[in-house]
Amino acid sequence: MNRAAESYVKLVLAVGQHDADYVDAFYGPAEWRSEAEAHKRPLSEIRAEAETLIATISSRPAGRDERHENDELERLRHAYLLRQLQSMVARIDFLSGKRMSFDEESKALYDAVAPTYGAPHFQRILDRLETAVPGEGTLPERVEAFRQRFVIPRDRLDAVFKAAIDECRRRTAQHIELPAGESFVVEYITNKSWGGYNWYKGGFHSLIQVNTDLPIFVDRAVDLACHEGYPGHHVYNALLEQHLVRGRGWPEFSVYPLFSPQSLIAEGTANFGIEVAFPGAERTTFERERLYSLAGLDAATADRYAEVRDLLQQLGYAGNEAARGYLDRKLSRQDAEAWLVRYALMSPERAAQRVRFIEQYRSYVINYNLGQDLVREYIEKRGGTADHPQQRWEEFAKLISSPRLPSGLR
């Protein structure tokens, strides 16, 4: 199996030569990357080899040729490699000009289809916000004006983020044994379609980038610290490296193709990790007692902001609808932006940034909200409910250390 896995890694690197966003992380042998760079292979050739590899792996029963026949991880590995390769073929087809519907694409690339919600679904949540944020003007205007009171000033950003990251790391380390020497650096950048990004460098090290194009609200500190750092992407990648790449010698986890089922697990666990790290009211308490003063904000307003934030979060799927409509050519760019302002309550600037994200990453958007819901259901089914935080951490740690597929969460 290691030979097939090695071929898979090289194919991912080869696709990366045609698609700058495809290889999210790679920390395997450096000569594999230089080889891919030196000999750019045509997409048709990469596709044919991927198909051959799929046939080879399919013909081999899961776990049969391994020493640990009953090992669940071996079975997951087999299914994972197959599905990752099928997704690669779909991405190659996209790069070659083939277009699918939004749902077909998300199924092919991420092994999942997001539910469809119409305007009435979101309107019910908007109605509650109408009451929560009274005042003059339209609801999007009022919510934006309300949010402006919770912006972290640029010169306080780093202190606030560092405090949030420290707290997320402290909480995570109480439940998950982090690899010795794991570390990260934070960078503030501009001119990106995303708000934050974790670049995993291997050796248990990450670079976390924060985009400062738009105002950053105080709740983004915990969001980002958990999502990009602990127990999110940084921990996820570090545990895969520790347990699977180093522990088992499985080379396929030294590469991370962004447009693949792995991303639904990565984004879903990174988002769900926020409530794992801060059960119940603990997040708001921490924000109120620590972050508000660091940000120079009035701590007395923290509970009210948290209440509005929780309602706004329920509008998450509105972003999927904008993406589905836009990519399926049912909404123009302007319509998609207007939808995001009206139903996701984004400012016009944020809506424009979001549509740029949709253009760059397409159906990837489902990985955040659907991913979070699938991960929550999966962990709760195993007893990891909010009132059993210890069990929830255990199931969470298991999930981020194993190659489970989105369809395997059902």
Q: Applying CB under 5 A, which residues contact Zn ion?
A: 267, 270
Provide the minimum distance between the beta carbon of 309 and Zn ion in the complex, in angstroms, as a whole number: 19
Provide the minimum distance between the beta carbon of 232 and Zn ion in the complex, in angstroms, as a whole number: 7
Our CB check for Zn ion shows the closer of 32 and 357 to be 357
Our CB check for Zn ion shows the closer of 266 and 311 to be 266
What does the block give as tokens for 382? 């195993």
Q: How many whole angstroms separate alpha carbon 80 and alpha carbon 262?
A: 9
Provide the minimum distance between the beta carbon of 223 and Zn ion in the complex, in angstroms, as a whole number: 10
Provide the minimum distance between the beta carbon of 85 and Zn ion in the complex, in angstroms, as a whole number: 23
Rounded to 10 degrees, the C-alpha dihedral 337/135/143/130 comes to -80
Please name the amino acid found at residue 21.
D
DSSP codes joined into one string, 214-228: S--BTTHHHHHIIII
The sign of the dihedral angle between the CA atoms of 193, 194, 200, 206 is positive
**Cα separations in angstroms, 216 against 233, 281, 391:** 20, 22, 33
Our CB check for Zn ion shows the closer of 105 and 267 to be 267
What does the block give as tokens for 76? 């997951």
Instruction: Label residue 151 exposed, middle or buried (CB < 10 Å: 0-12, 13-18, 19+).
Output: middle
Q: How many whole angstroms separate alpha carbon 400 and alpha carbon 161?
A: 24
Our CB check for Zn ion shows the closer of 233 and 342 to be 233
Provide the minimum distance between the beta carbon of 170 and Zn ion in the complex, in angstroms, as a whole number: 21
Q: Does residue 63 come out as left (phi exceeding 0), alpha (psi in the -120 to 50 range) or beta? A: left
Our CB check for Zn ion shows the closer of 84 and 262 to be 262
Our CB check for Zn ion shows the closer of 144 and 267 to be 267
| Alpha helices per DSSP H over 96-156 | 102-110, 119-132, 139-148
Q: Tell me which DSSP letter residue 189 carries.
A: E
Provide the minimum distance between the beta carbon of 194 and Zn ion in the complex, in angstroms, as a whole number: 8
Our CB check for Zn ion shows the closer of 187 and 303 to be 187
Provide the minimum distance between the beta carbon of 233 and Zn ion in the complex, in angstroms, as a whole number: 6
